[in-house]
Amino acid sequence: MGDANEEELEQRRQALIGEQNRQQAAQRAKELEDFRKAEEARKAAEAAKQGKMVADPEEAAPNWPDDGFQAAQPSRMDKVAGALGVGPAGDVALAQRLLNGGQTPLGSVSPSAQQAQSADGAKESTAGTHAAKPALGLG
């Protein structure tokens, strides 16, 4: 049973504690807002730095299957140039002949097909074996 003086002191103490709690909450809210702004600024700076490191996107290469871009069909002039072996169409025609020719490259010729030398230096006969054709389709 406290008197009026003790009750008044208790009310002041509660008011003081409430004011301290409000100030602490306001301080925490301000710190949180400052942290959010600093985090946004850091992310923006990081994104800008990454943007400078990334190369500009290149245009699609002809006949590259991943990007869906296909080159135009070869014209009659391209076919003639390929037959004559002139320019890029000639390069394509040569590559097709090499890939579809069915000949093995010169590096894959087995040693038994080549002429071997005996211990005394004389060449052994390789009758019955065929010499390898050149890989360029000239043979």
pLDDT tens digits for range 13-66? 999 999 999 999 999 999 999 999 999 999 988 887 776 555 555 565 555 555
Task: Let me know if residue 134 belongs to a domain.
Answer: no
- Report the chain's mean pLDDT, rounded to a whole number: 75
Q: Percent of the chain having pLDDT more than 90? A: 26
The answer to whether residues 98 and 137 touch, using CB atoms and an 8 Å cutoff, is: yes
Q: How many structural domains is the chain composed of?
A: 1
> What pLDDT score was predicted for residue 12?
94
The single-letter DSSP state of residue 61 is: P
Encode 93-103: b = buried (16+ Cβ within 10 Å), e = exposed.
Answer: beeeeeeeeee
Task: Let me know if residue 91 belongs to a domain.
Answer: no
Task: Let me know if residue 26 belongs to a domain.
Answer: yes
Q: How many CB atoms lie within 10 A of CB 75?
A: 10
Task: Let me know if residue 30 belongs to a domain.
Answer: yes
The single-letter DSSP state of residue 117 is: B
Task: Let me know if residue 8 belongs to a domain.
Answer: yes
Quote the domain boundaries for residue 12. Answer: 1-50
Task: Let me know if residue 33 belongs to a domain.
Answer: yes
Bridge partners (DSSP) of residue 27 are none
In angstroms, the Cα distances linking 27 to 30, 31, 48 are 5, 6, 32
- Mean pLDDT is highest, among 4-13, 77-86, 108-117, for 4-13
Task: Let me know if residue 124 belongs to a domain.
Answer: no
Task: Let me know if residue 62 belongs to a domain.
Answer: no
